Amino acid sequence: MNGWGDLEGRRVTNVKLGDGVVVRVEPTEDPQNPYVLIHFADDHEAERRFRLNTLRNKQFFDILVSEDGSKVEDAANEEHQAVGGADVPAKVREKRESTIRRIGQARGIRTLIHFTRYGSLRSILDNGLLDRRTLEGWPETTRPGFNDDKRLDGYPEAICLSISFPNYRMFYKYSNENRAEWVVLLLDSSILWKLNCAFFDENAACTTAKALPLAHRKKATALNRMFASGQTTRRTDLNIPRNYPTHPEAEVLVFESIPTAYIDQVCFYTEAARRKWIDNNADITPPTTCVNRRYFRPRKDWHAWSPNREDTHSYSPPGEEIPF
């Protein structure tokens, strides 16, 4: 069956039916097109039966994934997930962009997140979001402060974004002393397919993230992997929205500047901070501004990622505090 038998036990996700698992694969007269029987956790049917080509050709599944999140397709199709860039054939690049757009739409991804210091906002709105390497070339008098002194991910030429919700663990570390001195930028999700992005299913600085070549991180398969269950964490147990990556520190690295046109909204922590900024920058028209403390708080599944999560069942975060 050309290896399709090893699909059994793999996790899959469907736009309408949700998360499921492949129960078994049954051969047909066409060894390249077996029946795939799938059980969905939230489906009243015991299992559903599909021809593999039906799933692939009609794009019934947003992506068929394995336990580790990798796409279940022939290696020959990998060329369609090639890295974007000027040196990539136009048809291949268009295929990649289309696939990433489809994943984003299927997941309901509308917003990318970037948090920054209050004092850096004017520079961002004047120049767009720029990478650290570019900013380090600026004169010290105009150079903004950096959140990460060491940039352990090894990509100073990239801009860090999150999908749908901030990396609250890192954001808390930086903003805990005075959250009013920080803002959260909400950016258009089309960045995912229009700009040169790499997708990390956990923090880009961790050892396992560095084990996979960057070129593979720029494939559509890597974006989908951000929503797969982990080795020790089942996504269905987290009860998080479909547009949240599984790991709270998952991130998107953008390897080019991000024009201000992609910034949809600026969220402040207090109305006083928002009004002060507007009054001090009356010479420009900023994007829509708001006060939204939700983005300054932990994600709803924070307890699942706590170092002492066995003790967190009786604890809820008091007020604005983040429990770690």
Q: Which two tokens stand for residue 155?
A: 């990509």
64 within 8 A of 73, measured Cβ to Cβ: yes
Q: How far apart are CA 252 and CA 87, in angstroms?
A: 22
The verdict on 202 and 297 lying in the same domain is yes
The verdict on 120 and 256 lying in the same domain is yes
For residue 78, being part of any structural domain is answered with no
Pairing of strands 18-26, 159-163: unpaired
For residue 320, being part of any structural domain is answered with no
Domain membership of residue 213 as a residue range: 106-314
**What are the φ and ψ backbone dihedral angles of 204, each rounded to 5 degrees?**
-65, -15
For residue 323, being part of any structural domain is answered with no
For every one of its 324 residues, what pLDDT tens digit does the chain have, with 9 covering 90 and above? Answer: 455 656 676 767 666 666 677 778 888 888 888 888 887 766 666 678 888 877 665 444 544 544 344 444 433 344 334 444 555 677 777 888 888 998 898 889 999 999 999 999 999 999 999 988 888 787 777 766 666 666 677 788 999 999 999 999 889 888 888 888 999 999 999 999 999 999 999 988 887 777 788 888 998 888 988 988 877 788 888 999 999 999 999 999 999 999 999 999 999 999 999 999 999 999 998 899 999 999 999 999 998 987 665 433 333 343 444 443
The verdict on 49 and 172 lying in the same domain is no
For residue 28, being part of any structural domain is answered with yes
For residue 95, being part of any structural domain is answered with no
182 within 8 A of 278, measured Cβ to Cβ: no
For residue 75, being part of any structural domain is answered with no
The verdict on 23 and 115 lying in the same domain is no
The verdict on 134 and 210 lying in the same domain is yes
Using alpha carbons only, give the angle 237, 166, 15 rounded to the nearest 5 degrees: 50
Q: How far apart are the first and last CA of the chain?
A: 49
For residue 178, being part of any structural domain is answered with yes
Q: How far apart are CA 11 and CA 57, in angstroms?
A: 20
19 within 8 A of 41, measured Cβ to Cβ: yes
287 within 8 A of 188, measured Cβ to Cβ: no
Q: How far apart are CA 268 and CA 141, in angstroms?
A: 25
The verdict on 192 and 296 lying in the same domain is yes
The verdict on 157 and 300 lying in the same domain is yes
Q: What number of residues does the chain have?
A: 324
The verdict on 47 and 138 lying in the same domain is no
Q: How far apart are CA 132 and CA 143, in angstroms?
A: 10
The verdict on 173 and 34 lying in the same domain is no
For residue 80, being part of any structural domain is answered with no
The verdict on 151 and 240 lying in the same domain is yes
Q: How many domains does the chain contain in total?
A: 2
